[in-house]
Amino acid sequence: MRIRAGFEIAYDCPAPTPMMLTLSVHPSRQGDLETPDWIATNPNLDVRQYIDAFGNICSRLTAPAGRTVLSADFIIRDSGLLDVVAPDARQTPVEDLPDEALIFLLGSRYCETDRLSDIAWRLFENTAPGWARVQAIIDYVHDHIVFNYQHARPTKTAYEAWEEKAGVCRDYAHLAIAFCRCMNIPARYCTGYLGDIGVPVVGEMDFSAWMEVYLDGTWYPFDPRNHIPRIGRVLIARGRDAIDVAIANTFGQATLSVFKVVSYDVEVPPPGVTQTALPTAAGVSV
């Protein structure tokens, strides 16, 4: 399968504003790119990239006063297979976990394990450890939270999502991650592209949030928002929670004025999408 993906994002800044962006395809998927996922800018700006502490590609630039448009338009190869399901995957005892997995057992900015631990053990203590326990957590979170953009806010935590019972994909992921960590299962936050491939088209495209859980020596994707294995995930970044993978950190006043994201099977474009280039500020279109 060949997936076309990209974005167009614009910020209005009253003064020059440094920015740190997490918008590039993750290094683990760079080898699947058929065309570059370069970040184009209008006006043309110097963009410098580095690898952060979680292995993600981050970009730095300084947006001038006025409007700055960021865009990318690329094609990436994908297996076309559904997310892996491994119902026999076992839970690894904490003492046997690899060192690098331990950080994903700890509480973080949006995943307050201290506030949710008693709730998690009350809900899931009697579930079988391993895949079955994670699936029970995913099922609970999917049923507990009602998807609603009107209840989204950048400061909402896992505990607040549990209390309010409403939110968006990041809230589903934060709550499920926190519950897994409370049950001694490493879990990390993921963001990337997830187009409506193999499922009905449900509306405007956005970047998507899901999670990966460490079981039996492997990190497996789980998606409490969508609740079913999906086709065509294109990972951008992983971290403890959304704080580590924000698409943009702006060090000054910046107003988001344009936000468009696309991701679809090149052979089966969604209704209303034609095979023309995305609006691209500069650089190469495909």
Residues 148 and 70 in one domain: no
- CATH number, domain containing residue 26: 2.60.40.2250
86: in domain: no
**pLDDT tens sequence across 41-99:** 999 999 999 999 999 999 999 999 999 999 999 999 999 999 999 999 999 999 999 99
Residues 140 and 214 in one domain: yes
pLDDT (average), residues 108-129:
98
Residues 60 and 111 in one domain: no
Is the confidence at residue 286, as pLDDT, over 50?
no
For position 274, what pLDDT does the model report? 61
Residues 99 and 221 in one domain: yes
Residues 104 and 177 in one domain: yes
260: in domain: yes
Closest residue by Cα to residue 214 from 100, 121, 80, 113: 100
Report which of residues 74 and 276 the model is more confident about.
74
25: in domain: yes
- CATH number, domain containing residue 192: 3.10.620.30
238: in domain: no
**pLDDT tens sequence across 151-207:** 889 999 999 999 999 999 999 999 999 999 999 999 999 999 999 999 988 777 899
Residues 58 and 137 in one domain: no
Residues 47/50/52/55 CA torsion (nearest 10 deg): 120
- Please check whether residue 64 is in contact with residue 52, taking contact to mean a CB–CB distance below 8 angstroms: no
Residues 49 and 155 in one domain: no
For position 34, what pLDDT does the model report? 98
Peptide bond into 224 cis (omega under 30): no
Q: Which residue range forms the structural domain that includes residue 110?
A: 94-231
Residues 177 and 227 in one domain: yes
Residues 257 and 227 in one domain: no
Is the confidence at residue 277, as pLDDT, over 70?
no
Residues 213 and 122 in one domain: yes
Residues 124 and 36 in one domain: no
pLDDT band at residue 281 using 50, 70 and 90 as cut-offs: very low
Residues 142 and 224 in one domain: yes
Is the confidence at residue 135, as pLDDT, over 90?
yes
158: in domain: yes
**How many other C-beta atoms lie within 10 A of the C-beta of residue 41?**
19
pLDDT (average), residues 213-226:
97
188: in domain: yes
271: in domain: no
Number of compact structural domains in the chain: 2
